[in-house]
C-alpha cells in the first residue's frame, strides 16, 4: 500500500482576504500608486520576511507557430527599473522571450504580492533600452552574474548540468583578470504601460480593482472594475 498522500482537495481550500480597501480617490497617476505599492512590498519583506522578492514579475508574451497559431507563454523575471518611460528588465536577447517580443512587441507584467493580498498587472508595448543604459546596469551586476550571461545560451537545449558548468568555467577562464564586458546578445527591454490594473483582496471575494488606461494625449483614465 502506498504511503504517498492523496491529491489535495483544492475545492475545499479557503483563504480569507481582509486587507484595507483601495479607495475611489486613488491617485490619478498609476505610476505614483505603483511606486507606493512597491515600497510597501519591500517594507513587508524587511519587516516580516514573508514576501520573498518584491521585484519578481511574471512576463507574458505570445509566440506564433508557423501556421500563425498563437501560443501564450509566461515566465518569472526581475524588474530592474521603473519610471515615467516604463518598466525595465534585462535578458539574453537571443532567448525565447526576446525573440517573441521582436516578433510581436507587446507583453504584460504581473507582480503578485501575495503577502499583501495585492497584485498589479501592466500591459503595453515593448522596445529595447539604449545600449548606454544596458551598459550602466551591466556594470552594477555581480561578476558571477556577468559570467553567467556569457556562459548560458538561454532557452537552448543542453546535454547536462555538467555541460552548463563547463561553459561557466570556460567563461571564467576567458575573462580571468579582466573586467567582463557586456555581450552584444544581452541587454534591456522596456515595457511602456498602456494599461495598469491594481487588485486588492477584500472580504467575501468582493475585491477592489482599479484600472488605468493611457489616452491618446498621454493622460490616464481611471476606472473601478467589479471583481
The answer to the question of whether 209 is labelled as a binding residue is yes
pLDDT in tens, 154-163: 999 999 999 9
The answer to the question of whether 14 is labelled as a binding residue is yes
Radius of gyration of the chain, Cα coordinates, nearest whole angstrom: 21
- When divided into structural domains, the chain yields a total of 1
Q: Are 60 and 76 in contact (CB under 8 A)?
A: no
Beta strands in the chain (DSSP E): 56-64, 70-78, 81-83, 86-92, 106-113, 118-128, 186-200, 208-214, 220-225
Name the residue range of residue 36's domain.
16-141+184-225
The answer to the question of whether 90 is labelled as a binding residue is yes
Q: Which residues contact 159 (CB under 8 A, 6 or more apart)?
A: none
Residue 218 in any domain: the answer is yes
Q: Which of 26, 62, 56, 77 is nearest to 196 (CA)?
A: 26
pLDDT in tens, 107-130: 999 999 999 999 999 999 999 999
Query: Is residue 12 over pLDDT 90?
Result: no
The answer to the question of whether 156 is labelled as a binding residue is no
Highest mean pLDDT among 18-22, 57-61, 201-205: 57-61
The residue written with cell numbers 555538467 in the block is: 162
Strand partners, 141: none
Residue 50 in any domain: the answer is yes
Residue 152 in any domain: the answer is no
Residue 90 in any domain: the answer is yes
Residue 43 in any domain: the answer is yes
C-alpha cell at 71: 501560443
Between the alpha carbon of residue 19 and those of residues 98, 205, 208, the distances in Å are: 37, 11, 10
Q: Are 177 and 143 in contact (CB under 8 A)?
A: no
Residue 53 in any domain: the answer is yes
The answer to the question of whether 15 is labelled as a binding residue is yes
Residue 107 in any domain: the answer is yes
Query: Is residue 28 over pLDDT 90?
Result: yes
The answer to the question of whether 106 is labelled as a binding residue is no
State pTM to two decimals. 0.91
Q: Are 125 and 106 in contact (CB under 8 A)?
A: yes
Q: Which of 23, 78, 89 is nearest to 52 (CA)?
A: 78
Per-residue confidence band for 20, with pLDDT thresholds at 50, 70 and 90: confident
Could you give the CA distance from residue 193 to residue 109 in angstroms, rounded to a whole number? 10
Which residues are annotated as catalytic? 205
Could you give the CA distance from residue 95 to residue 93 in angstroms, rounded to a whole number? 5
DSSP string, 69-91: -EEEEEEEEE--EEETTEEEEEE
Share of the chain above pLDDT 70, in %: 99
Could you give the CA distance from residue 226 to residue 202 in angstroms, rounded to a whole number? 12
Check which CATH number belongs to the domain holding 75 and give it.
2.30.110.10
Residue 113 in any domain: the answer is yes
Amino acid at each position: 500500500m502506498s504511503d504517498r498522500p492523496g491529491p489535495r482537495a483544492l475545492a475545499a481550500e479557503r483563504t480569507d482576504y481582509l486587507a484595507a480597501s483601495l479607495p475611489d480617490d486613488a491617485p490619478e497617476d498609476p505610476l505614483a500608486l505603483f511606486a507606493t505599492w512597491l515600497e510597501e512590498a519591500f517594507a513587508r519583506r524587511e519587516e516580516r520576511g514573508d514576501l520573498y522578492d518584491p521585484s519578481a514579475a511574471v512576463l507574458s508574451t505570445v509566440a506564433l507557430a508557423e501556421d500563425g497559431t498563437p501560443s501564450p507563454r509566461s515566465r518569472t523575471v526581475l524588474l530592474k527599473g521603473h519610471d515615467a518611460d516604463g518598466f525595465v528588465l534585462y535578458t539574453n536577447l537571443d532567448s525565447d522571450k526576446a525573440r517573441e517580443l521582436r516578433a510581436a512587441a507587446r507583453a504584460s507584467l504581473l507582480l503578485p504580492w501575495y503577502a499583501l493580498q495585492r497584485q498589479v498587472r501592466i500591459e503595453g508595448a515593448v522596445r529595447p533600452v539604449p545600449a548606454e543604459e544596458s551598459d550602466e546596469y551591466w556594470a552594477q551586476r555581480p561578476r558571477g552574474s556577468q559570467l553567467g550571461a556569457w556562459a548560458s545560451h538561454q532557452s537552448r537545449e543542453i546535454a547536462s548540468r555538467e555541460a552548463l558548468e563547463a561553459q561557466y568555467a570556460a567563461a571564467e577562464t576567458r575573462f580571468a583578470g579582466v573586467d567582463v564586458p557586456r555581450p552584444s546578445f544581452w541587454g534591456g527591454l522596456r515595457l511602456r504601460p498602456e494599461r495598469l490594473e491594481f487588485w486588492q483582496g477584500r472580504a467575501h471575494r468582493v475585491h477592489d480593482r482599479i484600472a488605468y488606461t493611457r489616452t491618446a494625449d498621454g493622460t490616464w483614465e481611471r476606472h473601478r472594475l467589479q471583481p
